[in-house]
Amino acid sequence: MKSNGFTLVELIVTVSILLALSTIAVITVTGVLKDSNKDIDVVQDEIVMDAAKSYYVDTNDDNITIGKLIDNLYLEEDVAKKYSRDTSIDIKAYLNEENPSSSKLLRDAIIENNQPLGTTPDFNNVATTDEGLIKGSDADGDTYYFRGAVEDNYVIIDGLNWQEDGLYYVLDINGNNYGPWAANTKEIALSECRGFYDIDYGYQSEEECVNDIRTRGYSKGSPMLFRIIRINGNGTIRLITDDRVAINIKYNNNYGEAKYVGYTYDNSNPNAQNGTSSTIKEKLDAWYQNNLIGFDHLIATTRYCNDTSPSSSNSYLGGYDRLYPENPTPSFTCPQTTNTYGGEYNQKIGLISADEAVFAGGVFYNQNHNYSINNKYYLYKYYDYATSTPYSTNTIMYISKQISSSEIRYGSFSLMPVINLNSNVKISGGIGTKSDPYVVVSQK
């Protein structure tokens, strides 16, 4: 019989249970937080992992240690005192477990997050609102392209960062770029600003210039941001950089003959791709080697179009017939050419075509389209950048607020590279917005 309190047997049982529970707890903790000389796969402490996630998003640095989080003020030392400063955190493994989309193909995520439309847009008018993802066709099958002021077609590639700072711009009081001027340093931009005369505002003062200098785009070490143009018919995903990578580039330094509108020219036969490279091709190929060669395994060799097919109008080329008239008829399929310059190319890097720009929501700037401009759709920038589509035998089409043309010897374009990701690339997260872009897994 038991009076008040516990019997000796009950006390022994209770103590045994408590000892067992404490042993389990110690095993659980030590199973997650390993020795400081070893990496940890997943840290279960929410405070530490939230700090690690914030650090990774801000810096794109996946070599994370407790000490680094403390030193960079992402984590308070008191909170982390149970960990060694050398304890490392495998943030990618944690994010992969936290986010089930890590096993999802990018093209599947794009389709799932959008409802593709099967209707043909009105290509006679600019697309100033988000018209979403639209189904079309190209030489390889069904293609899905973004049109209008879309905000969910952003992509980054894990580990691919800008290797230099973006350019400084001189802006007016309405936030518009003054012109084609851009500079690598604030000092040069400031000099350009002081020398600018505006008919409404006169010369800019020192104070106005300082206030008007802006940095747009990117900074060295930040993730390289792309926009999705479309899912190609072969399943690859076409991207364009979200900012220019070079300025004042001529399409070709040579001129005087029709062949110089070719992406290559003096080819051995039509579509041979083995001729002399245009100036802009040389620039793109060099940029690829300097920036993307380490990610070559993700990038597909696929179709690009430099349409040099003949036009029904003298001295013009095929793009003129499709895009200049009222009721344009853009095409994702590259016409055959009989010329030994231009045509269809299969390569790793290239330019957007003017047809793709019309599909995206632009129109050619002329009386047939009411001289419409479009500073709302996702391809609009503050500057002019070249397409791969010749307008005539001595001019190339370019994109700004409108689609227009310029002689290859006079045009001074910004460079916006286009690449295509393999159809099997996966993402580790993201929903496609600028603040939360799709993150392409880069490991082989």
Whether residues 310 and 426 share a domain: the answer is yes
- pTM for this entry: 0.72
Q: Which of 43, 67, 98 is the last residue of a domain?
A: 98
79-89 pLDDT per residue, tens: 888 888 988 88
Residue ranges making up the domain that contains 46: 33-98
User: Does any domain span residue 8?
Assistant: no
- Residue 133: enclosing H or E segment and its boundaries? strand 130-138
Whether residues 346 and 259 share a domain: the answer is yes
Whether residues 75 and 207 share a domain: the answer is no
Q: What is the DSSP string of 86-117?
A: T-EE-HHHHHHHH-GGGGEEHHHHHHHHS--B
C-alpha to C-alpha distance for 300 and 126, rounded to whole angstroms: 31
Go through the chain and tell me how many residues it has.
444
Q: Which of these, 284, 288, 363, 294, lies nearest to 328 by C-alpha position? A: 363
Determine the 3-state secondary structure of 155 from DSSP.
Answer: strand
Whether residues 294 and 366 share a domain: the answer is yes
Whether residues 179 and 154 share a domain: the answer is no
Whether residues 196 and 252 share a domain: the answer is no
Task: Give, in degrees to the nearest 5, the angle at Cα 426 between 134 and 113.
Answer: 35
Whether residues 92 and 230 share a domain: the answer is no
Phi-psi region of 266 (alpha: psi -120 to 50; beta: other; left: phi over 0): left
Whether residues 186 and 154 share a domain: the answer is no
Q: Which two tokens stand for residue 54?
A: 């914030």
Whether residues 84 and 143 share a domain: the answer is no
* Domain tally, the chain: 3
Whether residues 313 and 208 share a domain: the answer is no
Token look-up 């002081």 returns 194
Phi and psi at residue 404, in whole multiples of 5°? -140, -170
| Averaged pLDDT for residues 36-65 | 70
C-alpha to C-alpha distance for 324 and 335, rounded to whole angstroms: 17
User: Does any domain span residue 18?
Assistant: no
Whether residues 395 and 436 share a domain: the answer is yes
238-296 pLDDT per residue, tens: 999 998 898 889 999 998 899 999 999 999 888 777 899 999 999 999 999 999 999 99
User: Does any domain span residue 327?
Assistant: yes
| Averaged pLDDT for residues 345-351 | 97
Q: What pLDDT, on the 0 to 100 scale, is given for residue 62? A: 80
Whether residues 274 and 332 share a domain: the answer is yes
